[in-house]
């Protein structure tokens, strides 16, 4: 059952309970207790859907040690840099230069609609050996889409990116990381592995390169998947200069601590 329906159902039950207590259909204290219980259950379902971790939905990959990935051995202190919402020029191309200079492979969760606008950039990402992954055809929360709409968006996005990059798309990051049972079932049907993160510096808030670096390094651990942005969905107005400038600093600092950078496969 979709999370949205569950939220509506429990909120209605809470409202009905409070109404019954207000008009003495039941005693007020039990009415309040029932309403609080309903709202708590709704809150738990919402948290399971919007928080990036895998405590509720084990199919969600948040660490390189997850068995749903390729199964290839990764170094003990491996870490993955991932970039959402691109391609977005000139930032994506500038990022590719920085990664090439540091000899690091990353994972790009691409918006297919943007890929259509910047096909040469998609080809550059693929040619450089980075992992090509899907974010969505258009940047829309999965929980807001019907199952039919989501499936069509994923299939269209996957086909678009595969055609432009020449690479098979196997990984998908839902917009904002939001998912529920129905979303995961559709991903499984299409053959996409859902990948979120466990390290989030919130670089989209336009903080400095130094602060982005500090946050990533502070929260780094073996197997971490780092969420960064080379794009700015949906308006593509804000710069990504600070993120791009932070990347070499992140790489240097974590390498000094013995980390190895890998693309997700």
The residues that are catalytic are 84, 229
Q: Are 40 and 46 in contact (CB under 8 A)?
A: no
Residue with tokens 């974590």: 254
Q: Are 151 and 25 in contact (CB under 8 A)?
A: no
> Cα(194)–Cα(54) distance, rounded to whole angstroms?
10
> Cα(196)–Cα(227) distance, rounded to whole angstroms?
8
Q: Which two tokens stand for residue 19?
A: 């109404």
Q: Which residue in 205, 153, 148 sits closest to 175, CA to CA?
A: 153
> Cα(36)–Cα(30) distance, rounded to whole angstroms?
10
> Cα(142)–Cα(24) distance, rounded to whole angstroms?
41
Helices (H), the chain: 3-22, 28-50, 91-102, 112-117, 119-127, 147-165, 181-190, 209-219, 241-256
CA distances from 82 to 119, 152, 216, 262 (A): 20, 25, 12, 10
């Amino acid at each position: 059952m979709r999370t949205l329906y569950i939220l509506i159902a429990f909120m209605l039950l809470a409202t009905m309970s409070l109404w019954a207590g207000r008009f003495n259909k039941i005693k007020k204290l039990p009415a309040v207790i029932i309403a609080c219980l309903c709202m708590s259950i709704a809150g738990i379902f919402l948290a399971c859907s919007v928080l990036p971790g895998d405590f509720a939905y084990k199919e969600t990959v948040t660490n390189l040690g997850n068995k749903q990935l390729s199964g290839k051995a990764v170094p003990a202190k491996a870490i993955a840099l991932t970039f959402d919402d691109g391609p977005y020029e000139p930032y994506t191309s500038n990022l590719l230069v920085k990664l090439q200079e540091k000899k690091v492979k990353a994972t790009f969760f691409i918006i297919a609609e943007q890929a259509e606008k910047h096909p040469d950039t998609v080809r550059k990402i693929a040619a450089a050996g980075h992992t090509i992954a899907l974010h969505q055809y258009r940047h829309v929360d999965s929980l807001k889409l019907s199952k039919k709409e989501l499936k069509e968006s994923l299939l269209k996005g996957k086909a678009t990116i595969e055609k432009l990059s020449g690479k098979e798309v196997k990984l998908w990051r839902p917009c904002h990381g939001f998912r529920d049972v129905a979303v995961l079932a559709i991903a499984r049907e299409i053959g996409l592995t859902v990948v979120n993160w466990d390290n989030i510096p919130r670089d989209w808030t336009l903080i400095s390169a130094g602060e982005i670096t500090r946050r990533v390094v502070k929260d780094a651990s073996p197997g971490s998947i780092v969420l960064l942005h080379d794009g700015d969905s949906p308006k593509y107005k804000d710069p990504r200069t600070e993120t791009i400038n932070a990347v070499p600093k992140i790489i240097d600092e974590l390498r000094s601590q013995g980390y190895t950078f890998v693309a997700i496969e």
